[in-house]
């Protein structure tokens, strides 16, 4: 009844009189001594000053039992859903506007701040893509995995996918010297290092096959491979088929792998 009209304070006091001698007295007195708090809360909502409004509800917990509080929560939920729709539809400016507003709502502050950070990274990614800054695009993609699902990022990767297919054909023919020119813009990009390394593995093994009848120091050659790639199935299969098992030195566990470098050949005469 105080919420309806501050002039009802005396009636409220009579209703609560029986509880003034109980542990509830501090709560009752807080209510009766702050009868204008409901009006203050209403004014803050009208002014859309939700930061102060929620601070007020935190200090005066009974404000959370009001119809006004319920309406404010519904408002927050509606704005949150609208913000998510804007983010999903790539309406980033409108999303940011709504998100900044929602940061004043305690129940949404953490999650909406997380979305804001994510969106800022998406915008950063789109800017790098537009400027064709490959190193920065792929570095950011490694740092924030969710960016790898952006349609713009997937489209950006199509250039590498095309080059990868060309390189794969060359690798199966052992044409190692042509790989560097294909991957020249990507060789130092960590994001694609595993893919490029796998292509070179194929090329090196094929290079070995192409020279199987030549005079080669197979012990040094094979162990050059193992130093880089380890004693994997490919080199074991090559050695087994060509009776070169003895060329593999100590066990893989006892070796120290060297950093992969884009060498034109691993073959040693």
Stated pTM of the model: 0.76
What's the sign of the alpha-carbon dihedral 131, 136, 137, 140? negative
Residue 250 pLDDT class (50, 70, 90 cuts)? low
Mean pLDDT, the chain, as a whole number? 91
Name the least confident of 44-48, 125-129, 160-164, 176-180.
176-180
- CB of 207 closer than 8 Å to CB of 176: yes
Residue 200 has pLDDT above 70, yes or no: yes
At 17 the pLDDT is 85
Q: Work out the percent of the chain whose per-residue pLDDT is above 90.
A: 69
pLDDT tens for each residue of 64-88:
999 999 999 999 999 999 999 999 9
Which DSSP category does 264 fall into? S
pLDDT band at 190 (very low <50, low <70, confident <90, very high): very high
How would you write 43-81 as a 3-class SS string? HHHHCCCHHHHHHHHHHCHHHHHCHHHHHHHHHHHHHHH
Residue 251: is its pLDDT beyond 80? Answer: no
pLDDT at residue 203 tops 80: yes
Work out whether the CA dihedral 230, 196, 154, 121 comes out positive or negative: positive
Instruction: Provide the pLDDT confidence category of residue 252 given band limits of 50, 70 and 90.
Output: low
Which pLDDT score is estimated for 5? 80
What pLDDT sits at residue 20? 84
CB 201 within 8 A of CB 211: no
Q: What percent of the chain has pLDDT over 70?
A: 96
* More confident of the two residues 16 and 164: 164
Structure tokens at 80: 């949150």
Tell me: pLDDT of 254 over 60. Answer: no
User: 82-118: per-residue pLDDT in tens?
Assistant: 999 999 999 999 999 999 999 999 999 999 999 999 9
- pLDDT for 257 equals 63
Task: Say if residue 183's pLDDT is above 90.
Answer: yes
8 Å CB contact between 164 and 145 = no
Mean pLDDT of 198-204: 95
Work out the widest C-alpha separation in the chain, in whole angstroms.
109
Give residue-wise pLDDT tens across range 1-46.
Answer: 878 887 887 888 888 888 888 988 888 888 888 888 889 999 999 9
Please state, in angstroms and rounded to a whole number, the distance separating the CA atoms of residues 233 and 239: 10
Question: What pLDDT does residue 18 have?
Answer: 85
* DSSP classification of residue 22: S
Q: What is the Cα–Cα distance from 138 to 2, expressed in whole angstroms?
A: 61
pLDDT for 253 equals 55
pLDDT digits (tens, 9 = 90+) for 226-243: 988 888 999 999 999 999
Which residue, chain included where needed, has tokens 């040693």?
268
Residue 89: Cβ-neighbour burial (10 angstroms; 0-12, 13-18, 19+): exposed
Distance CA 265, CA 177 (A): 8
Rounded Cα distance, 133 and 146, in Å: 19
């Amino acid at each position: 009844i105080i919420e309806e009209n501050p002039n009802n304070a005396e009636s409220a006091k009579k209703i609560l009189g029986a509880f003034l001698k109980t542990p509830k007295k501090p709560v009752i007195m807080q209510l009766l001594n702050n009868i204008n708090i409901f009006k203050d809360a209403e004014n803050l909502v009208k002014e859309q000053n939700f930061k102060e409004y929620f601070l007020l509800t935190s200090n005066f917990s009974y404000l959370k039992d009001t119809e006004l509080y319920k309406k404010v929560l519904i408002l927050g939920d509606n704005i949150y859903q609208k913000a998510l729709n804007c983010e999903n539809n790539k309406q980033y400016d409108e999303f940011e506007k709504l998100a900044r507003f929602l940061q004043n709502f305690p129940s949404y502050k953490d999650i909406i701040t997380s979305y804001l950070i994510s969106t800022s990274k998406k915008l950063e990614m789109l800017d790098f893509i537009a400027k064709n800054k490959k190193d920065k695009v792929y570095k950011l993609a490694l740092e924030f995995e969710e960016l790898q699902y952006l349609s713009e990022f997937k489209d950006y990767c199509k250039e590498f996918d095309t080059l990868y297919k060309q390189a794969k054909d060359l690798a199966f023919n052992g044409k190692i010297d042509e790989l560097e020119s294909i991957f020249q813009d990507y060789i130092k990009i960590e994001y694609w290092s595993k893919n490029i390394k796998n292509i070179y593995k194929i090329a090196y093994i094929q290079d070995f096959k192409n020279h199987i009848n030549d005079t080669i120091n197979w012990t040094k050659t094979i162990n050059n491979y193992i130093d880089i790639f380890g004693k994997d199935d490919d080199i074991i299969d090559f050695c087994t088929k060509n009776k070169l098992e003895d060329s593999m030195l100590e066990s893989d566990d006892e070796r120290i792998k060297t950093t992969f470098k884009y060498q034109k050949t691993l073959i040693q005469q």
